[in-house]
Chains A and B, each alone.
Chain A
Amino acid sequence: MTLRLEPNIPDPDGFYEELIGMQRDLDDEQAALFQARLLLVLANHIGDRAVLTQALQAARRAGATQQKI
């Protein structure tokens, strides 16, 4: 398996709304913990070590480009 980077969520706006809504009433620390828990839950669901490494690299890469701009 390789990491899917093409659009894969059927309802992107709805998903994003739910993601934001889920942490609306949380302070910064609680929100950071929420995001970390979500990350671990999703990572376990994916399970595939190679895909996880690709995802980690993709996330890191995107941040690096933005820092340059």
Chain B
Amino acid sequence: MQKTYSYPEFAYRQSEEQRLGRVKRHPVVIVGAGPIGLTAALECASRGIPAVLLDDNNTVSIGSRAVCYAKRALEIWDRLGVGEAMVRKGVSWQVGKVFFRDDLVYQFDLLPEQGHKMPAMINLQQYYLEEFLVEACGKSGLVDLRWKHKLISLSQEADHAKLTLETPDGIFQLEADWVIACDGANSDTRKMVGAGFTGQFFQDRFLIADVVMKADFPTERWFWFDPPFHRGQSVLLHRQCDNVWRIDFQLGWEADPVEEKKPEKVIPRIRAMLGQGVEFELEWVSVYQFACRRIDRFRYERVLFAGDAAHQVSPFGARGANTGVQDVDNLVWKLKLVLDGQAPATLLDSYDEERAFAADDNLLNSTRSTDFITPKSRGSRVLRDAALQLAQEGAFARKLVNSGRLSTPTPYVHSSLNTPDETSFAGAMVPGTNCADAPVKRRGERLWFLNQLPAGFALLVFAPEAPATEVRLGDIRAQVVCVGRDFSDAEGLLAQRYDGQPGTVYLLRPDRHVAARWRSFDPVRIRAALARACNLKEQA
């Protein structure tokens, strides 16, 4: 059906361990090679962990599915070396329009803050994203990507998990020190450990259609409430690359998903929306119902859940893949310290603490958007329509109109890994917050701050020199990076965003979150903060 894309078919290979019938122990086994599993494998490779990545299929995502990738996820992919290619291929949009019935209610410009390498968001079909990730996994040399490997059972031992897999060559077993389950909203792994997955189901169905436009159409996001061509429901239109447009029709609960997917049903809907003159071809269609729910614990002994396997959100606000990538970003540096014996396994409980907190925040935002878009009672529909009517004239009411909020990262403000501030700082970079980017210069070359940070812990020092090149706690190192020596603060934005008065020191985690900060370089305090960030008792 797809006209702009042909699916690669990845080769199944029998593993040596299956051929020899020898049970092998792996440090990390990842279940599910979707965007999150692939990112997890790349993240492991970037930290020197060999990873076995299993997928029961042998191609990328069928249909485009996830579309929007926000800045924070792009920054993580950039750290893994694939962000720039994604941005080049993807489409950026800035103008959004909101319609109510026959009228344009208002339009807005995202006007993203300047001085960041990555855009506020891009739209890109999920299959392209996965292709970039598969290619990078192949190049990493540390990812063992095994297609057509289906997990059929899992059991937990004291210090590892046993996995039974089915391949075209039959059934075999392998062992893993740690398992990262990225097998999606219907995760079998989740069922195998008996985890709870609860929340709210929305009694509504949506039709997603990807269409190829024959003529030019503006690169904008259009959202309709109760449009004349689709009365009583909502419709979303936005652009992906290759001139493919995503259209999202709210169908209501009574709609028959099989019937609605038929081209003879879909095409007239799209024609009514685009107008008679606009030529298009149907690329891909799907009908879905969504839920907002999350797993009760992100960690079940040796099994760690990430992405949709751990939390499922409504599609409004692009929170699915974006949060999943941040799960992986949070998890893998911790896993590396634990695997190397540098931190206790309890450090992994902070993964649950921090990412469950973020998941709840995402669920809250996602539920709020859903309640606005699909009101559950006459009373809430009247309030929504009133807000839309007011929005045409009153700027205040536009703030109430919620057609999905841009996904932004949730700072881990209450995390047990943070060291609280002892003095006051201005700005947003409180402990637990992800590092803001800024333009910097090195030997006259314009570069970006986030690209200057080391893979592990960093000590960002706002001074041309520091008393040490690193601070060590056992084998854990925090490498010093000096502003004014290693690079210069090209536009003063770094100092502005971090309140970087001369002498200020930030301890940054390997996932580029602020762990602690001070107004001077004190190795004793730094070691204590490092110990705290690794869940360690400080060693002398």
Contacts and interface: CB of A to CB of B under 8 A. Distances in A.
Interface of A: 29, 32-33, 36-37, 39-41, 44
Given A37-B386, A40-B386, 19 more contacts: A29-B382, A32-B382, A33-B382, A33-B385, A33-B386, A33-B389, A36-B382, A36-B385, A36-B387, A37-B390, A39-B383, A39-B386, A40-B383, A40-B387, A40-B390, A40-B397, A44-B394, A44-B396, A44-B397
A36 B387 CA distance: 8
B364 interface: no
Contacts of A32: 378, 382
Contacts of B386: 33, 36-37, 39-40
Contacts of B394: 41, 44
A33 B101 CA distance: 15
A37 B389 CA distance: 8
14 contacts: A32-B378, A32-B382, A33-B382, A33-B386, A33-B389, A36-B382, A36-B385, A36-B387, A37-B389, A39-B383, A40-B390, A40-B400, A44-B394, A44-B396
Nearest to A38: B386
Interface string B365-402: 00000000000001000110111011000101100100
Interface of B: 378, 382-383, 385-387, 389-390, 394, 396-397, 400
Contacts of A36: 382-383, 385-387
Contacts of B387: 36, 40
B131 to A, nearest CB: 46
A39 B386 CA distance: 9
Contacts of A29: 382
Nearest to B387: A40
Contacts of B390: 37, 40-41
A19 to B, nearest CB: 16
Contacts of A40: 383, 386-387, 390, 397, 400
A36 B377 CA distance: 14
Contacts of A44: 394, 396-397
Nearest to A32: B382
Contacts of A33: 382, 385-386, 389
Contacts of B396: 44
A44 B391 CA distance: 12
Question: What are the 3 closest A-B residue pairs judged by CB atoms, nearest first?
Answer: A36-B386, A37-B386, A44-B396
Contacts of B382: 29, 32-33, 36
Nearest to B385: A33
Nearest to A31: B382
A41 B387 CA distance: 9
A15 B383 CA distance: 23
Contacts of B397: 40, 44
A56 to B, nearest CB: 12
Nearest to A34: B386
A39 B382 CA distance: 11
A45 to B, nearest CB: 9
Nearest to A36: B386
B67 to A, nearest CB: 32
B396 to A, nearest CB: 4
A40 B386 CA distance: 8
A33 B387 CA distance: 9
Contacts of B389: 33, 37
A56 B91 CA distance: 43
B356 to A, nearest CB: 26
A41 B395 CA distance: 11
A53 B393 CA distance: 26
A31 to B, nearest CB: 10
A36 B388 CA distance: 11
Nearest to B400: A40
Contacts of B385: 33, 36
A40 B384 CA distance: 10
A5 B540 CA distance: 63
Nearest to A44: B396
A44 B396 CA distance: 7
Contacts of B383: 36, 39-40
A29 B385 CA distance: 11
Contacts of A37: 386, 389-390
A36 B381 CA distance: 10
A68 B74 CA distance: 56
Nearest to A47: B396
A47 to B, nearest CB: 9
Contacts of B400: 40
A37 B400 CA distance: 12
A36 to B, nearest CB: 3
Contacts of A41: 390, 394
A33 B385 CA distance: 7
Contacts of A39: 383, 386
Nearest to B386: A36
A68 B364 CA distance: 33
A5 to B, nearest CB: 23
A51 B394 CA distance: 22
